[in-house]
Chains A and B, each alone.
Chain A
Amino acid sequence: MTFLQRNPDIVWRHEKRREEQVLKEMDAGKDVEERGTVILLISGMMHQLNLLGGMIWNLCDGTRTEEQIVDCLLKEFDVERNVLAADVAEFIEDLLQREWLIYG
C-alpha cells in the first residue's frame, strides 16, 4: 500500500470559513474553480488550492491511498468515478512532482 502524505515541511492552513462560502457558491451554480480554500506557504510564497485540491490535500494524512481518497471524495461530489479519479490522479501527480506530497 502506498499512502499519500503531505510534505511535513510545508506550512498550510485549511480556511474553513472560505470553504463554507465556496460551497455555497458552488451550490448556487457559480464557477469556483479558481477559489482557494487551503493555503500553502512555501519558501515565502503563498499558494492556494481550490475546493477539490483542498479536499485532496486534507485527505493526504498518511492513512489513505489514491484510490481511498477517490472513494472519500465520491461521497462529496456527484460525478462519475472515472472522471473524478482522473482529476485526482492529475492533481496528485502534479503535487508529487513538486514534492508537496510524498508517499509514506
Chain B
Amino acid sequence: MADTITELFSAPLTFNWTLSYKCNFTCSHCYSRDEVGEELPTEKIKQVVDVLADRQVPFINFGGGEPLIRDDLLEVTRYATDKGLNVSMNSNGWLLDHATAEQIQQAGFKSVGISIDSAVGKSHDDFRNMNGSFERATAALDALHQVGVKTTMSAVISRINFKDFHSLLDLARKHKVSQVFLHNFKCSGRGFKNREDLDLSPQEWKEFYVEALGTKKVTKDLLISFDDPVIASLPGYDENPMVKGSSCGKLSLHLRPNGDITPCGFIPLVVGNILTDNFEDLWYNSPVLNGMRNKEAKGKCQGCGAYQDCLGGCTARSFATTGDLSEPDPHCWK
C-alpha cells in the first residue's frame, strides 16, 4: 500500500534496539522488565547492523533492559559507527563510571541518555527501586561530560514528577546536559500494572503540557523534547514534526533482543524478523505498519477538529488499553 511515508522513506530513520531485557533495576513503570526472550550472539548482532547499514538507517538507539549489561555493547557500537551509523543509548547510569565513559567515547557514541525521574534523590531511588541510583545517574552524566560525550536526560512523566518538572530542567543544567526528554507515560508492561498509581488524568496531562510547552518556548539554554502526539491538539501548538501522530512505524521501528521487529517497544505486535525476513517487504507491506500509517478515526476522534494533527494520539497507549490501534488515546482530554 503506497502512502506518504513509504512513498518517500525506504526505511525508518531510527531503530530503537533492545539488545537485552535484562536489567539491574526493577522500575515501577518499566515496559520490559517482565519480558524474557532469546538474545542474539555478537556475530548475529553485527549481521543486524549490516542490514541497517545496507538499508541506510541513520540512527540506532540502544535501550532495554540496561544496554550496558551486554558485555559486547561497545564492540557492537564500534562496528556500527565504523559503518557510518549514528549510535546513542539510554541507560540508568548505574554501570557508567569514568572508565566506562571513556570507553563509550572511544566506541563512537554520539550521545548517551541517562534516565532520571526526579531531582529529589530519594524520589528517584524509590521510583527506580534502587537506593543510590540517583547519585550514580548524576555521576554518570558528569563522567560522560568530562570525556566529551554529549548527554541527554530522560524523565518519564508520572504522578511523582509532573508538578515538579522545572527542577528536572535545573538538574540537567547543573550537569551540563544538552537535551531533556520529558517522555509521556506508557501503560505497557509494569506501566500498565501500576497505571492507577502512576498515570495522570487526561485533564492533568493537558495542564502539564500547557505549562511544559510554555516553558519550552522561553527556554533557550536547554533543548526540551516531548514525544507525545496528543499535544498536537493543544491551542498554540506550533511545532512542525516530520510526521503527524505517532512516529512509530513511520520514522522509527523497534528491535527486540531476538531480532524481531515491532512498531515500537510499547506495541507487542511482531511484524517480522530482521535476520530471517526481507526487510523491504516488511517495511512496505506489513499490515500492522500500514495500519499505523493509515489510521482511521474512531470513537470521539470522529469529527474532532484536532484529528488531522494528532491522528488519534499515541498509538501504543490506544492499543494497550483497547487492543485497537485506531481507538482514541486514553490520555486525550478532548
Contacts and interface: CB of A to CB of B under 8 A. Distances in A.
A binds B: yes
Given A41-B13, A41-B58, A46-B242, A15 B86 contact: no
A49 interface: no
- The SS class assigned to the B binding surface is loop
Contacts of B7: 18, 21
A102 B326 CA distance: 46
A89 B240 CA distance: 30
Contact of B8 (A12, A14, A36, A45): A36
A16 B55 CA distance: 11
A11 B58 contact: yes
Contacts, number: 27
Contacts of B56: 13-14
A12 B240 CA distance: 19
Contacts of B58: 11-13, 41
Which interface class (under 10, 10 to 19, 20 to 34, 35 or more) fits B? 10 to 19
A39 interface: yes
B86 A11 contact: yes
Contacts of A36: 8
A30 interface: no
B59 A11 contact: yes
Interface residues of A, number: 15
> What is the predominant secondary structure among interface residues of chain A facing chain B?
strand
B106 interface: no
Contacts of B59: 11
Given A11-B58, A11-B59, A46-B242, A16 B10 contact: yes
Nearest to A37: B8
Given A11-B58, A11-B86, A46-B242, A17 B13 contact: no
A62 B268 CA distance: 45
Contacts of A48: 8
A66 B10 CA distance: 29
A13 B242 CA distance: 15
A11 B87 CA distance: 12
B152 to A, nearest CB: 13
A16 B120 CA distance: 50
B9 A15 contact: yes
B173 to A, nearest CB: 20
Nearest to B85: A11
A6 to B, nearest CB: 12
Contacts of A17: 10
B154 to A, nearest CB: 16
B86 A39 contact: no
B84 to A, nearest CB: 9
Contacts of B9: 15, 39
A103 to B, nearest CB: 22
Interface in A30-61: 36, 39, 41, 45-46, 48
Contacts of B86: 11
Nearest to A18: B8
A77 to B, nearest CB: 23
Choose among A11, A12, A36, A45 the residue with the greatest number of B CB atoms under 10 Å from its CB: A11
Given A36-B8, A48-B8, 13 more contacts: A11-B86, A13-B13, A13-B56, A13-B58, A14-B56, A15-B8, A15-B10, A18-B7, A18-B8, A39-B9, A41-B13, A41-B58, A46-B242
Q: Which 7 A-B pairs have the closest CB atoms?
A: A11-B58, A13-B56, A46-B242, A17-B10, A15-B10, A18-B8, A15-B8
26 contacts: A11-B58, A11-B59, A11-B86, A12-B58, A13-B10, A13-B11, A13-B13, A13-B56, A13-B58, A14-B56, A15-B8, A15-B9, A15-B10, A16-B10, A17-B10, A18-B7, A18-B8, A18-B10, A36-B8, A39-B8, A39-B9, A41-B13, A41-B58, A45-B240, A46-B242, A48-B8
